[in-house]
Amino acid sequence: MSTSKHLHIINPSYNSSEDVSFTLFSALSMELRLRVWQCSIQQNRLLEIELDRPQLWAPEPTLPDAPYSATNGLNKVISGRNYTIRGCKILSKLLHVNRESRDVALRFYRVHMPCYFPTSEGGTPGTAKSTLYVNPEYDFMFLRIKQPPENTFVDFVNDFKAHDPKAVGLLNLALDANSMTALQCSTDITVTPGKPAFLDSLQQLREIIWVAESMAGRSILGPLDDFEGAGIRFNNSMPLKASTPTFQYVLTAGVDPRQLRVQWRQLLAKWGIQQAQETRERFLFASQVPRPEQQQIHDMKTASKYLDEEEERWLKVQRKYHRIVKKCAGKVPVEGSEELAKAVRPAIGFWLFPPEALGRLEGFPEEGSSRTKKVFDMTDHWPELALSFLF
DSSP string for residues in 303-362 = HHHHHHHHHHHHHHHHHHTHHHHHHHHSSSSSS-HHHHHHSPPP-BEEEEE-GGGG---T
Nearest by Cα to 80 from 98, 90, 93, 67 = 67
| Model pLDDT, residue 365 | 61
Q: What pLDDT score was predicted for residue 368?
A: 45
For residue 56, the model assigns a pLDDT of: 39
- Top mean pLDDT of 176-190, 253-267, 321-335 is at 321-335
What is the predicted pLDDT for the residue at 169?
Answer: 93
Q: How far is CA 47 from CA 14, 243, 268, 327, 363, in A?
A: 21, 9, 23, 44, 33
Assigned domain for 375 exists: yes
Residue with more model confidence, 108 or 230: 108
Evaluate if residue 157 carries a pLDDT over 50. Answer: yes
For the stretch 32-74, pLDDT in tens is 999 999 999 999 998 888 876 654 344 444 455 577 888 999 9
Is 207 a member of any domain?
yes
User: Is residue 18 assigned to a domain?
Assistant: no
Q: What is the pLDDT of residue 57?
A: 40
Centre a 10 Å sphere on the Cβ of residue 130 and count the other Cβ atoms it contains. 15
pLDDT above 70 for 372: no
Single-letter residue type at 156 = F
> If you average pLDDT over each of 182-186, 203-207, 274-278, 365-369, which comes out highest?
203-207
Instruction: Pick the most confident of 132-146, 236-250, 288-302.
Output: 132-146
* 368 or 103: which leads in pLDDT: 103
pLDDT at 49: 85
pLDDT beyond 90 at 210: yes
Pairing of strands 44-52, 139-145: parallel
Q: Which of 46-60, 100-114, 227-241, 283-297 has the highest mean pLDDT?
A: 100-114
User: Domain range for residue 48?
Assistant: 5-12+30-388
**50 belongs to a structural domain:** yes
Window from 18-32, 212-226, 341-355 with minimum mean pLDDT? 212-226
Structure confidence at residue 88 (pLDDT): 67
The model's confidence at residue 363, banded by pLDDT at 50, 70 and 90, is low
Q: What is the pLDDT of the chain when averaged over all its residues?
A: 81
What pLDDT is recorded for position 3? 55
Strand pairing class (384-388; 77-78): unpaired
Instruction: Note whether residue 225 is domain-resident.
Output: yes
- DSSP assignments along 249-290, one per residue: E----SS-THHHHHHHHHHHHHHT---SSPPEEEEEEEEPPP
Tell me what pLDDT residue 123 has: 63
**From CA 161, how far away is CA 170, in angstroms rounded?**
7
How high is the pLDDT of residue 2? 52
pLDDT band at 76 (very low <50, low <70, confident <90, very high): very high
Q: Is the pLDDT of residue 217 over 80?
A: no
The pLDDT of residue 352 is above 90 = yes
Q: What integer pLDDT is reported at residue 105 of this predicted model?
A: 95
Greater confidence (202 vs 294) lies with 202
For residue 366, the model assigns a pLDDT of: 55
Q: How confident is the model at residue 300 (pLDDT cuts 50, 70, 90)?
A: confident
What average pLDDT score do residues 289-300 get? 71
* Domains held by the chain: number: 1
pLDDT of residue 257: 82
Stated as kind and residue range, the H or E segment containing 160 is helix 153-162
Task: Specify if 202 maps to a domain.
Answer: yes
Domain presence at residue 24: no
**Predicted pLDDT at 13:** 67
In a domain, 181, yes or no: yes
- Range picked from 42-51, 160-169, 279-288 for highest mean pLDDT: 160-169
CB of 4 within 8 A of CB of 314? no
